[in-house]
């Protein structure tokens, strides 16, 4: 058993007293000290997703300086998230396994005000153009983020396989989240900034494979 059930993970230690650590590994590459970028960039990552029960691969970006405050006020860009399971049961989103991916922006004035569901998209490989793979573990694909001052678009391999296509010029994220209308008094962390805030600052890149989790990535 793990030493804790917190949503952000737990720690398990083996030893001579008989404690056994299962042969699983997780890894992360982050570019916080070496590379960061903001609007007017095209990120391309060619990757083949891992296959295995309870693996949680992700390609994502986090703000360098968190100018607008603690998460999620300064934003988070999830270019790709998936599950390593070959078979995963039905559920509210079809419970994608390695045959599907998700792409999400996290943003809001506070943890309770995270409106990621308004900027969350999913795609199953069966619906893609230009591939005969049965899942994302069979071959390499190119994960794209096109980020400008006016909008943000993500797609797989080609624009025909677009997930998120967000126009910043339509409204601010404060307006998008309707924070003045939900009956809760929030402070606007992006007041005085343009419509793109919080996605108008430099972010760094993270690529990782986690194992398991109790934050809802593997719902029952």
Tell me how crowded residue 106 is: count the other CB atoms within 10 A of its CB: 20
Q: Any catalytic annotation for residue 112?
A: no
Question: 33, 76, 138, 170: which one is catalytic?
Answer: 76
- For the record, the structure tokens of 18 come out as 């008989």
- Count of C-beta atoms within a 10 Å radius of residue 163: 20
Please say whether the beta carbons of 47 and 205 come within 8 A. no
In 3D space, the residue among 46, 60, 182, 52 whose CA is nearest the CA of residue 109 turns out to be 182
Q: Which of 81, 134, 160, 181 is catalytic?
A: 81
For 35, the 3-state DSSP assignment is coil
- For residue 151, the SS3 value is strand
Catalytic (active site) residue 181: no
Question: Side by side, which strands form the sheet with 120-124?
Answer: 27-30, 203-211, 55-63, 76-81, 100-106, 120-124
Backbone torsions φ then ψ of 177, nearest 5 degrees? -85, -5
Q: Which residues are catalytic?
A: 76, 81
């Amino acid at each position: 058993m793990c030493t804790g059930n917190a949503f952000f993970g737990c720690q398990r230690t083996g030893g001579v007293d008989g404690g056994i650590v299962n042969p699983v590994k997780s890894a992360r590459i982050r570019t916080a000290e070496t590379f960061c970028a903001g609007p007017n960039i095209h990120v391309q990552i060619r990757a083949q997703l891992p296959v295995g029960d309870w693996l949680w691969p992700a390609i994502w970006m986090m703000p360098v300086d968190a100018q607008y405050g603690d998460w999620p006020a300064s934003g988070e860009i999830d270019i790709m998230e998936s599950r390593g399971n070959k078979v995963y049961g039905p559920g509210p989103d079809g419970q994608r396994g390695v045959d599907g991916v998700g792409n999400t922006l996290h943003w809001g004035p506070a943890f309770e005000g995270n409106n990621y569901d308004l900027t969350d998209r999913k795609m199953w490989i069966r619906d893609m153009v230009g591939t005969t793979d049965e899942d994302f573990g069979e071959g390499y694909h190119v994960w794209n983020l096109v980020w400008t001052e006016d909008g943000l678009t993500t797609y797989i391999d080609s624009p025909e396989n677009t997930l998120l296509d967000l126009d910043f010029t339509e409204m601010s994220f404060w307006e998008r989240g309707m924070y003045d209308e939900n009956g809760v008094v929030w402070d606007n962390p992006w007041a005085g900034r343009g419509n793109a805030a919080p996605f108008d600052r430099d972010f760094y890149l993270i690529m990782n494979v986690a194992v398991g989790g109790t934050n809802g990535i593997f719902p029952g």
